[in-house]
A and B are shown apart, each in its own frame.
Chain A
Amino acid sequence: MLDRSWIGKEISSVEVDVEQGQLRFFARVVGETDPVYTDEAAAQAAGYPSLPAPPTFLFSLNLAQPDPLAKYTSMGVDLAKLLHGSQEFEYYAPICAGDRITLKSRITDIVEKKGGALEILSEETSATNQRNELVGKSTQSLVIRHG
């Protein structure tokens, strides 16, 4: 059982540079063929200052820290029992190569399901760029399997 006093607390804050090389690597691995995601000129022709981060990349930015899962283990979560339950993103402005993004995550809820066999951890992350614009929000639920 996780300590309910985590609800409402900030559990991580990270500042990360969005890098072209990593965006190209990501695009290649997921089989993205639209040149907007790999070719600077195509991105600019589409109105972006540089390569845009794809729709799920905010999640990856939040993992760009030395030990990204430590925030959960420090709460007492056993990583062997952790599953990703659901994930949502809201988009307010593009995130592009060259941006420096600040991501702040907090726990918004912890609830029991199935008579305590599962605990659901809800986390919300805000992403702000170097101009202090809120560019996106990520909401996720993590499932912890007990027993």
Chain B
Amino acid sequence: MTQIDCDAVQVGDELPAITKPAITRTTLALFAGASNDHNPIHIDIDFARQCGMEDVFAQGMLGMAYLGQVVTNWVPQSAMRSLGCRFAAITHLGDELTCTGKVVETFEEAGERRVRVEIQAANQDGDVKLAGFAFVAAP
């Protein structure tokens, strides 16, 4: 894991981006099991259609797990103070999410130097699916 030097972190710095494989039905089925989210709308096309959707679609928390990785690839998880996002649009089958992050603020809080990072996940067409933030502490 790369250790960041928070004294060197500057507003505008970009976190290394990650691109995930296209979402498949298998991804959704396995994530349902791994994440305990058994909501059938993500894994059962019959149920999804009854709900007025054309097909199953990704669990929001799958994209958020990817967003978390952008941060933990950059700093040890023990430095994370918070993580948040809004689910701006539905992530569909076939979407390839690219997750990015950027430092937007550095400040002092609770006796430590902290960095605020803006993060997002967008698909291959650039449509933003998740948009959020993380606060991390300097090591």
Alpha-carbon distance between A52 and B64 when the two chains are bound, in angstroms: 17
- B37 and A34 within 8 A (CB): no
Alpha-carbon distance between A36 and B72 when the two chains are bound, in angstroms: 11
B51 on the A face (CB < 8 A): yes
- A91 and B80 within 8 A (CB): yes
Q: Which one of A26, A46, A81 lies within 8 Å of B76 (CB-CB)?
A: A46
- B60 and A84 within 8 A (CB): yes
Name the segment of A3-11, A55-63, A109-117, A126-134 touching the other chain.
A55-63
- A55 and B61 within 8 A (CB): no
- B78 and A47 within 8 A (CB): yes
- B103 CB to closest chain A CB (Å) equals 18
A39 on the B face (CB < 8 A): no
Residues 81 to 96 of chain A near chain B (Cβ within 8 Å): 81, 83-91, 94
- A63 and B36 within 8 A (CB): yes
| Minimal Cβ-Cβ distance residue in A for B133 | A88
Interface contacts beyond A60-B61, A64-B36, A80-B51: sample of 15 additional A-B pairs, CB < 8 Å, sorted by A = A26-B35, A29-B34, A30-B66, A30-B69, A36-B1, A47-B78, A54-B72, A55-B83, A56-B68, A84-B60, A87-B64, A87-B84, A88-B85, A90-B82, A91-B82
